[in-house]
Amino acid sequence: MDYAKTSKDILAAAGGAENISSYTNCMTRLRLNVKDQSKVDVEAIKAMDGVMGVIPGEQTQVVVGPGHAERLRQAFGEVSGVTADPEIGGAPTADPSQVQVKDKAAETKAAVKAKQTSKAQKLFRHVGNIFIPIIPGFIACGLVLAITNIIKMADPSVAKNPWFLVAAGLGGLITSGLNLAVGYNTAKEFGGTPILGLLAGGVPYMTSLAGIAATDTTPAQPITIPLFGELHPALGGVIGVMLTAFIFTVIEKNFRKIVPASLDLFLVPFVTLVVGSAICIFIIMPLSGLLMQGINWLLIDFALEKGGVFGGYLLSALFLPLVMLGIHQGLTPIHAQLIADHGFTQLLPVLAMAGAGQVGMALAVWAKTKNKELKNIIKSALPIGFLGIGEPLIYGVSLPLFYPFITACLGAGFGGAVVALGIQLTPGGFGSTGLGVSGILMTGLISGGQWLWYVGGLLTAYVMGFILTYFFGFKEKMVERLA
């Protein structure tokens, strides 16, 4: 891809610099925040070399694949002169397809999103914007954890080696500092001062809330609240952090309207911190704690532990439709909090089977089709599909063909059922100790040495995605939908 030329072409097709308020990227997409959607020529952008698809909307998303998205964002910044959102960084993966794909899935997804409540869509978009910049940290720390876990499985005695402990500590950095990063990004997302957002992220985690003194003096009594009882650090988790940082931003903006400019620097941060912290401690933390308990009961206690194999099947089979609707962004803080509370998230290995079903689907279509262009698309997208990055397969193959998307989801459910069975049969359960990696790479992150259950789920999803697609999901005439 000629990133500079493509950037100029995208800029022209998007209505020019005056129609773009800001831009950013995730691992696979250049995201343009446009002022007037009617000025964006979606079909022209789709026709550009290297563009896999376009998802229109207030944030027009140009799908180009891992690696390309970061380079395209940098080039776009150089040629457009538009203000950039916080830089995100790319994914450490190989180049995906250079093949031009006319992505019919974009219209399908846009039609589905149009039926959703706009407020809900904006809420999940905000959550995504808060966590997307943290993804490179999840990936880096996740890969370090995967390597250290594999080494420890091979030689348990290495756990006493100081250098091994340093490496394991590096892998845990993102978890230990997640509340601060989330607070910082939340303030940025809602137009507040980022450093105040960082402070907001620290408030729910203060050890003094549990009566632990910051000095060598005698510990005080923990804080108690009527109806909720004792508070403790991290009550409400990252959801509480996001709410706290949002409240900090609201207080900051409104108080600044009435404070003289000469006193702004002194009074606005002070009042924001004091008032915002009081609201956090006495209102947000107890309520967000109840919310987290409810979510844990629904997804873990009910869906996985009580639902067992059936619950695992449904969670895996329905995950990609949730991705299409943008609802999956709301699960990221839940995964993060589960890791913070228990050391792993049981939910993520089950949901990761959704990508494995797509791999099985792609193998079946590749084996059955006679279309060389489709074979090339699959051939270039499969390697990163095995690594857990499924967007090229989803937007380049399964969704445009439609029925293979359904059989891939149904096949993924069988993999989720296997993982859920393993969680049920393992005392204390197991899960992923990190975020940001999926597919084969997640094997090294599975806790308690239970990686065989995860691999078994992957293989099952591969096989069932293949079988269901080969016999029921694909016919050669479907290739016409790619035209």
**Please, where are the H alpha helices in 86-213?**
105-114, 118-131, 135-154, 162-171, 173-176, 178-189, 194-202
DSSP 451-479: HHHHHHHHHHHHHHHHHHIIIII--GGGG
Cα separation, 66 vs 76, in Å, equals 16
**Please, what is the end-to-end C-alpha distance for the chain in angstroms?**
21
CB atoms under 10 Å from CB of 266, counted, come to: 10
CA quadruple 464, 67, 188, 60: dihedral sign: negative
What gap in Å lies between CA 53 and CA 57, rounded to an integer? 13
Rounded CA separation 59/62 (Å):
10
Tokens of 478: 């479907």
Q: Which residue has the tokens 């009961």?
A: 297
- The rounded distance, in Å, linking the Cα atoms of 318 and 307 is 15
Looking at the DSSP bridge assignments, the partners of residue 31 are 24, 61
- Exposure class string for 309-338: b at 16+ Cβ within 10 A, else e: bebbbbbbbbbbebbbbbbbbbbbbbbbbb
User: Looking at 26, 141, 280, 409, which residue is catalytic?
Assistant: 26
Single-letter residue type at 471: F
Active-site residue 26, yes or no? yes
Which residues, including other chains, have CB under 8 Å from residue 55's CB and lie 6 or more apart? 29, 61, 63, 106, 109, 110
Least Cα distance to 176 among 212, 202, 213 occurs for: 202
Contact predicate 65/96, CB 8 Å? yes
**Partners of 60 in beta bridges:** 32
Provide the annotated active-site residues: 26
